[in-house]
Amino acid sequence: MTDIRIAQFSDTHFLEADAEPEGGFAYETSQAFDATAAHLVSASTDGSFSPDLVVATGDIADHGRSAQYRIAADRFAGLASDLGVAMNVTPGNHDRDAELSAALGRPNVTMSRVVEIGTWCFLFVDSNAGVMRVDDDGRRVDPPSYDDRLHRNGSLGTAETAWVREMCELTTADHVFVWLHHPPHLPSGLSADETYAGEWRTLLEDENSATTKIRGLGGGHTHMPTDYRFAERPVFVCPALKNNFSVEAATMLPPGYRTYAFGDDGSISSEVVLVDDERWPRRPLGRAVMSLLKGELTYAEFDEIVARKRAGA
């Protein structure tokens, strides 16, 4: 059997025209998506990488507004049509659950939670599930304050944890791969959350559970593409389209996506694809930004530094 090929986008952060980005700075995200999508379509056309599925792992909209999801739906449907495959989406901490579900639906854009292809089962885990609430009608809804969701670095909760276990038990696939927004136990101190990492560690280190089928995880969230190992599994972090950073090079990075090949034997290979363009120069990062990305500064402390610099300008 040939490898299963999947392309991953993450942190698209679509914005309406002239909308102010959360955090104050962003690439023109629709332009960034168009450029990266065109790059993937070209790779598919020339045969260098032709995906069987495209996934988007959260932070689809920058503010969780319906208008932003309609932009996303049009862009995603166009890419899926150009490639002749489906695009499957899972939410991030910037997303609002109801607005995402209502606006994103297109015939070739889906929000399936389980996708089986060949010997692989792909689980689409909601890494915000632990902050969701059940209302009086029994519906699963966002927490009362959007900030309760926005400023989280992952939370599974008991229901989502149990769902992962159940899906691993029920699938007849030999191998399981997890797509989610928040990768666990991130190398970056800025986005690390040990409680959330502990939820995943409990799942992945249970030798008496079907979660031993999990071969790896793919996420986004950090805007710092990398890969690392956690609980003896590879974890792959996708580039973002809003803005991208490299702590190692101390520069901005252009937008991009990831490609994956999943082997019948359970092997996984993945590459980061960055789309260089004069619109997204690899500018050096300032000292305060570097300290923020390393987790040496909080967002509040960083905002105070920026405010003082602006006041003194």
Q: Do 10 and 238 meet the contact criterion of CB atoms below 8 Å apart?
A: yes
pLDDT for res 233: 98
Q: Per-residue pLDDT tens for 88-132? A: 999 999 999 999 999 998 999 999 999 999 999 999 999 999 888
What pTM, to 2 d.p., does this model score? 0.94
Q: Do 277 and 261 meet the contact criterion of CB atoms below 8 Å apart?
A: no
CA distances from 116 to 18, 112, 191, 287 (A): 40, 11, 30, 45
Q: What fold does the segment set 4-282 form as a domain?
A: Purple Acid Phosphatase; chain A, domain 2 (3.60.21)
pLDDT (average), residues 233-251: 95
- Local confidence band at 148 (pLDDT 50, 70, 90 cut-offs): confident
pLDDT for res 260: 98
CA–CA separation, 141 and 130 (whole Å) = 11
Beta-carbon neighbour count of residue 20 at 10 Å?
A: 11
Q: Percent of the chain, pLDDT > 90? A: 76
CA–CA separation, 173 and 19 (whole Å) = 44
Q: Is 305 exposed, middle or buried (0-12, 13-18, 19+ CB in 10 A)?
A: middle
Segments making up each domain of the chain, as ranges: 4-282
Give strand pairing partners of 177.
Answer: 122, 216
Q: Dihedral of the CA atoms 48, 54, 55, 56 (nearest 10)? A: 90
pLDDT for res 251: 96
Which tokens sit at 21?
């980005």
Q: Percent of the chain, pLDDT > 70? A: 98
